[in-house]
C-alpha cells in the first residue's frame, strides 16, 4: 500500500483511557492535518504541561505538528481558538527550536498582527510575555550555547521586544548603545534584533541619521538590509517620511531597491497608514516611473494592505483600485489583497471575541 497516497473516508472511534492519547502522523512525515476531538487536544496540552521536558515521548516534529494543526484548524473554524491557545501554555517548558518557530511564526504572528490596533492587544501581550519569560530566563542575553539555542534566543528576544517587554528592551537598548556609541560588535545572531528594536525603542533622530550614514557606506548586502530594517521600523513618522523621500528621489537608495524600502516600511505597523496615504498620493508618478507591467510594482500594494481588517479599510482599497482600474501584472495581487482583507474582517468578527474572552479568563488565574 502506498502510504503517501491514501485518503481516510471514515472517522476513527478511539477512546484512550485516563489521560491517554494517540498521535497520528507521527514524526510529521505526511502532508496532512489531523483533527482530534477537543478532549484529545486537552490531553496533549496537559501531558506537555505536567511532565518534565526530558520525559516527553512526543518528538520536536510532533510537538510542532500539533501546534501547526491546532492553529490551522482554529483558523478554518474546525476547532475553537481556545485549543491552540491552551496548547501554547506548554511552551514555558519547550527547549527545541522547531516547535518555538511554529508557535511564533505560523501560530501567533497572525493573531499579533490582527489585534495590534484593538483593545485585546494589551491582554495578548501579557499572555505571550508569561509564555516567553521562562525561556528568556533560561537562555539569557549572551550569544552562547548550541547553534540551535543561539537562533532560538534571537527569535524569542525579538518577539519579546515586539511585545515591548521592559526587561528585554533594557538589555537590547544597552547593546544598541554600545554598538552605536562605542563600536562594540553585536553578535551576528542578535544583530538584526538589536538594530531594529534598539533604534525603535531607544534611538533618537541623531541615531537614525548615524545609521543612515552607515547604510550609505556599507558594502555588505546583508548588513545593509539589517540597517535598512532599523531605518524603517521607527515610530517617528517624520523619519519615515524622510526615507520615503530619499527612495522616491533615489538619494542614497538605488532604483532597484525602491520596492524593498516600501515593503520594509510596510512591516512597520506604526507607519502603515502614512505609507498607504503616501502611496496613493504618488501612485501616478510610480506608474510613469515603473509602468504597470513591472512585476515588483504589481506586488507593491499587496504588501501594504494585506493586514487591513476593517470594513472602512476594505472600502478604501476598493475605491483606490476603481480609480486605477488598469493593474497590469498586479491584477492577481489586487485580488489577493481583497481576499486577504475580507478574510481578516471575517476573522476579526468571528474569532476576536473568542480570543478576548479566553485571555480574560486565563489572565485572571495568573
For 1, residues 6+ apart whose C-beta sits below 8 A from its C-beta are none
Count other C-beta atoms under 10 Å from residue 188's C-beta. Answer: 12
Region of residue 52 (phi > 0: left; psi between -120 and 50: alpha; otherwise: beta): beta
Residue identified by cell 503616501 is 278
Region of residue 11 (phi > 0: left; psi between -120 and 50: alpha; otherwise: beta): beta
| Contact between residue 311 and residue 274 where contact means Cβ atoms under 8 Å apart | no
| Contact between residue 266 and residue 279 where contact means Cβ atoms under 8 Å apart | no
Q: How far apart are CA 337 and CA 334, in angstroms?
A: 5
Question: What are the φ/ψ torsions at residue 51 (nearest 5 degrees)?
Answer: -115, 145
**CA torsion angle 260 261 263 265 (round to 10):** 160
Q: How far apart are CA 287 and CA 269, in angstroms?
A: 25
pLDDT at 216 (0 to 100):
97
Half-sphere exposure at residue 361, Cβ-oriented, CA atoms within 13 angstroms = 9
For 199, residues 6+ apart whose C-beta sits below 8 A from its C-beta are 176, 207, 208, 211, 230, 231, 233, 234
Nine cell digits for residue 7? 485518503
Q: Kindly provide the b/e burial profile for residues 13-23, where b requires at least 16 CB atoms within 10 angstroms of the residue's own CB.
A: eeeeeeeebeb
| Contact between residue 228 and residue 215 where contact means Cβ atoms under 8 Å apart | yes
Q: How far apart are CA 352 and CA 346, in angstroms?
A: 10
pLDDT at 33 (0 to 100):
86
Which runs of consecutive H residues, i.e. helices, occur in the chain? 38-50, 60-75, 82-88, 97-102, 109-115, 121-139, 147-162, 166-182, 188-202, 205-217, 221-232, 237-249, 258-266, 272-281, 283-290, 295-305, 311-323, 331-364
| Contact between residue 60 and residue 99 where contact means Cβ atoms under 8 Å apart | yes
Residue-by-residue pLDDT tens, the chain, 366 positions: 344 444 454 555 566 666 778 788 877 777 788 899 999 999 999 999 999 999 999 999 999 999 999 999 999 999 999 999 999 999 999 999 999 999 999 889 999 999 999 999 999 999 999 999 999 999 999 999 999 999 999 999 999 999 999 999 999 999 999 999 999 999 999 999 999 999 999 999 999 999 999 999 999 999 999 999 999 999 999 999 999 999 999 999 999 999 999 999 999 999 999 999 999 999 999 999 999 999 999 999 999 999 999 999 999 999 999 999 999 999 999 999 999 999 999 999 999 999 999 999 999 876
pLDDT at 1 (0 to 100):
34
pLDDT at 24 (0 to 100):
81
Amino acid at each position: 500500500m502506498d502510504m503517501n497516497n491514501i485518503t481516510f473516508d471514515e472517522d476513527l472511534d478511539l477512546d484512550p483511557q485516563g489521560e491517554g492519547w494517540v498521535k497520528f502522523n507521527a514524526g510529521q512525515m505526511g502532508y496532512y492535518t489531523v483533527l482530534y476531538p477537543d478532549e484529545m487536544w486537552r490531553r496533549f496540552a496537559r501531558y506537555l504541561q505536567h511532565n518534565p521536558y526530558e520525559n516527553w515521548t512526543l518528538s520536536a516534529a510532533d510537538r510542532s505538528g500539533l501546534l501547526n494543526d491546532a492553529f490551522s484548524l482554529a483558523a478554518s473554524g474546525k476547532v475553537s481558538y481556545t485549543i491552540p491557545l491552551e496548547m501554547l501554555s506548554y511552551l514555558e517548558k519547550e527547549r527545541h527550536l522547531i516547535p518555538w518557530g511554529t508557535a511564533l511564526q505560523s501560530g501567533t504572528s497572525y493573531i499579533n498582527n490582527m489585534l495590534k490596533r484593538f483593545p485585546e492587544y494589551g491582554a495578548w501581550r501579557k499572555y505571550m510575555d508569561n509564555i516567553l519569560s521562562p525561556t528568556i530566563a533560561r537562555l539569557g542575553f549572551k550569544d552562547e550555547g548550541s547553534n540551535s539555542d543561539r537562533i532560538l534566543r534571537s527569535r524569542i528576544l525579538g518577539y519579546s521586544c515586539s511585545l515591548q517587554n521592559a526587561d528585554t528592551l533594557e538589555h537590547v537598548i544597552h547593546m544598541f548603545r554600545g554598538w552605536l556609541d562605542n563600536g562594540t560588535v553585536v553578535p551576528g545572531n542578535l544583530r538584526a534584533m538589536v538594530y531594529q528594536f534598539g533604534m525603535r525603542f531607544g534611538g533618537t533622530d541623531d541615531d537614525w541619521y548615524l545609521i543612515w550614514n552607515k547604510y550609505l557606506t556599507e558594502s555588505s548586502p546583508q548588513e545593509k538590509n539589517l540597517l535598512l530594517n532599523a531605518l524603517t521600523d521607527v515610530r517617528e513618522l517624520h523619519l519615515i517620511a524622510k526615507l520615503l523621500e530619499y527612495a522616491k528621489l533615489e538619494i542614497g537608495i538605488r532604483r532597484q531597491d525602491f520596492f524593498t524600502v516600501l515593503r520594509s516600511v510596510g512591516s512597520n505597523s506604526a507607519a502603515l497608514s502614512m505609507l498607504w496615504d503616501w502611496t496613493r498620493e504618488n501612485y501616478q508618478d510610480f506608474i510613469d516611473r515603473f509602468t504597470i507591467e513591472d512585476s515588483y510594482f504589481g506586488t507593491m500594494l499587496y504588501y501594504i494592505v494585506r493586514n487591513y481588517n476593517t470594513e472602512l479599510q476594505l472600502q478604501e482599497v476598493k475605491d483606490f483600485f476603481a480609480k486605477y482600474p488598469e493593474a497590469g501584472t498586479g491584477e492577481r495581487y489586487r485580488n489577493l489583497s481583497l481576499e486577504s482583507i475580507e478574510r481578516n474582517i471575517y476573522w476579526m468578527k468571528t474569532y476576536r471575541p473568542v480570543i478576548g474572552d479566553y485571555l480574560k479568563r486565563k489572565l485572571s488565574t495568573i
